[in-house]
Structure 1
């Protein structure tokens, strides 16, 4: 039962992150307006979080928005494929959780709380989630 639930969660999260990355790659993705709006939306955050967020966005993300536009879709796609196939699953789950947390801090509240919760639950059930992965067909000696 635990294996089936972990597999379903892994398939849903993996498919979502693949879809998110592919739609950004297929369309015109520009993080600039989102990052600019994130500075104004952070007014409700605690002062420490707000100043760190504004500093990171203003000094790192906005000056290098072309790199952000390139990295975000590819990271989403890579995390989704990793979670779906079960290859480097821990990396994929960690990347998905980090992206969800970053998007949440920038004010994107839509599905990110559920995605972050799903990544945490999947990380906690990682031994069960590995049952139907590409790693499951390797011998135990090959994984050492």
Structure 2
């Protein structure tokens, strides 16, 4: 019943729009701050690896192993992906374009930050993003997806149409 309300109610769609724009703004500001502020993921990754030690580690060993083996050697790539990922997720959520994909990418980044021992607003953003993901279309009802998705579907359907030609018509 609650899921049905989230997915179909127009009043809820308006509330979801405010949530979507709020989360988008948080991502946009965070990403822009990293882009203009000289963000380097290497320091963040090393800090997270350091939180995996002691009696009550904030970072689990398996995640620290991933950070040490994959993320730290590729810190330049992670720097780029985090900066621009946050910024683009923010734009997409604010405009309501590719909303479900943007929300999914945002929630994945939030979980990565939580796994790395950073609490901040990540848990709140995960909770709010879950509403967007469960609501599906209703979360993007008042956004550009209302126009973009049907346009893309029409393009894909048109591209995939096959014209049947009778063998007698082939010369």
Fold-level similarity (TM above 0.5): yes
Check if 1:27 corresponds to 2:37.
Answer: yes
Question: Structure 1 runs of 4+ off > 2 angstroms?
Answer: 42-46, 137-144
The structure with the larger Rg is 2
Once the 2 structures are TM-superposed, how far is the Cα of residue 9 of structure 1 from its aligned partner?
0.4
Partner Cα distance (1:129, 1:22) in 2: 24
5+ long unaligned stretches in structure 1:
none
Once the 2 structures are TM-superposed, how far is the Cα of residue 142 of structure 1 from its aligned partner?
5.7
Once the 2 structures are TM-superposed, how far is the Cα of residue 50 of structure 1 from its aligned partner?
2.1
Once the 2 structures are TM-superposed, how far is the Cα of residue 74 of structure 1 from its aligned partner?
0.5
Equivalent pair of 2:29/2:87 in contact (CA under 8 Å): yes
CA RMSD of aligned residues (A): 2.1
Once the 2 structures are TM-superposed, how far is the Cα of residue 27 of structure 1 from its aligned partner?
0.6
Q: Which residue of 2 aligns with 1:130?
A: 140
Check if 1:96 corresponds to 2:96.
Answer: no
5+ long unaligned stretches in structure 2:
1-10, 155-171
Structure 1 residues 45 and 130 mapped into 2: Cα distance closer, same or farther (>3 Å)?
same
TM-score by length of 1: 0.88
Structure 1 residues 39 and 141 mapped into 2: Cα distance closer, same or farther (>3 Å)?
closer
Alignment length, in residue pairs?
142
Partner Cα distance (1:141, 1:93) in 2: 21
Q: Which residue of 2 aligns with 1:120?
A: 130
Check if 1:36 corresponds to 2:46.
Answer: yes
Partner Cα distance (2:48, 2:16) in 1: 33
Partner Cα distance (1:111, 1:22) in 2: 17
TM-score by length of 2: 0.75
Once the 2 structures are TM-superposed, how far is the Cα of residue 51 of structure 1 from its aligned partner?
2.6
**Deviation string for 1:38-61 (max 9, x for gaps)?**
122234359xx7232121111111
The structure that is helix-richer by fraction is: 1
Equivalent pair of 2:60/2:115 in contact (CA under 8 Å): no
Q: Which residue of 2 aligns with 1:67?
A: 77
Counterpart selection for 1:5 from 15, 18, 30: 15
